[in-house]
Copies of this chain bind each other. A is one copy, B any other.
């Protein structure tokens, strides 16, 4: 799923890890693209100055996300990338990526697929954000991430981080969780959120114990 998983070993080996202090530029707009980055730690923001001189944020990449995917084909970067926190990134050199794309159709397909998959999940997040209520956003998140067997979601990281992912303050998320638990819609246990099926759902194949 993440970029590292399907890259040929020689590109992995040729990748370079870079550490950034808060405020460091990773790259600047209209500068030749040297490759695609993956964020390993911290947060890196991509932004651009608008014609009036304001900085417009296009994307804030968090660990596991890649940036500047289109620069596999060369050209210049189209925005500025700045570390918002101390951060660690991995650079996959453009010439190697492009060469692989051109010579190994399996890789080209994998790369294209990855972009399509990311697009699907970005769009899903937009849909999530179309809902204003904390509970609806949470439900959407749970629905998309639920383990079908257990009808539950293991929360990765902290609830605060989840709140950020949902575009909510942590307080709102805590309250939504609390109320949904009160009302019996969900049930929490450690860092796992179990969803209680609506009345009249048979659990089908997974009848345990």
CB contact list, A19-67 vs B, under 8 A? 50-54, 56-60
Encode A124-153 as 1/0 by CB contact (under 8 A) with B. Answer: 111101100000000110111011100100
Cα distance A111–B108 in the bound complex, in angstroms: 11
CB contact list, A58-96 vs B, under 8 A? 58-60, 69-70, 72-73, 78
Copies held by the complex: 2
- If over half of A's interface residues share one DSSP class (helix, strand or loop), that class is named, otherwise mixed; here it is helix
A3-11, A154-162, A174-182, A193-201 - the one binding chain B: A193-201
Instruction: Report if A191 contacts B (CB, 8 A).
Output: no
Contact of A143 (CB < 8 Å), options: B56, B117, B144, B147? B56
**Contact indicator A52/B146 (Cβ below 8 Å):** yes
- CB neighbours (8 Å) of A140 from chain B are 56-57
By CB atoms of chain B within 10 A, which of A69, A123, A167 has the most? A123
- CB neighbours (8 Å) of A101 from chain B are 112
Cα distance A146–B117 in the bound complex, in angstroms: 29
Instruction: Report if A109 contacts B (CB, 8 A).
Output: yes
- CB neighbours (8 Å) of A14 from chain B are none
Cα distance A72–B113 in the bound complex, in angstroms: 9
**Contact indicator B56/A197 (Cβ below 8 Å):** no
Cα distance A118–B148 in the bound complex, in angstroms: 30
Cα distance A167–B132 in the bound complex, in angstroms: 9
**Contact indicator B73/A143 (Cβ below 8 Å):** no
- A sample of 5 inter-chain contacts (CB < 8 A) reads A50-B143, A58-B123, A70-B120, A102-B105, A122-B126
- Interface residues, chain A, with chain B CB atoms under 8 Å away: 50-54, 56-60, 69-70, 72-73, 78, 101-102, 105, 108-109, 111-113, 115-120, 122-127, 129-130, 139-140, 142-144, 146-148, 151, 167, 195, 197-198, 201
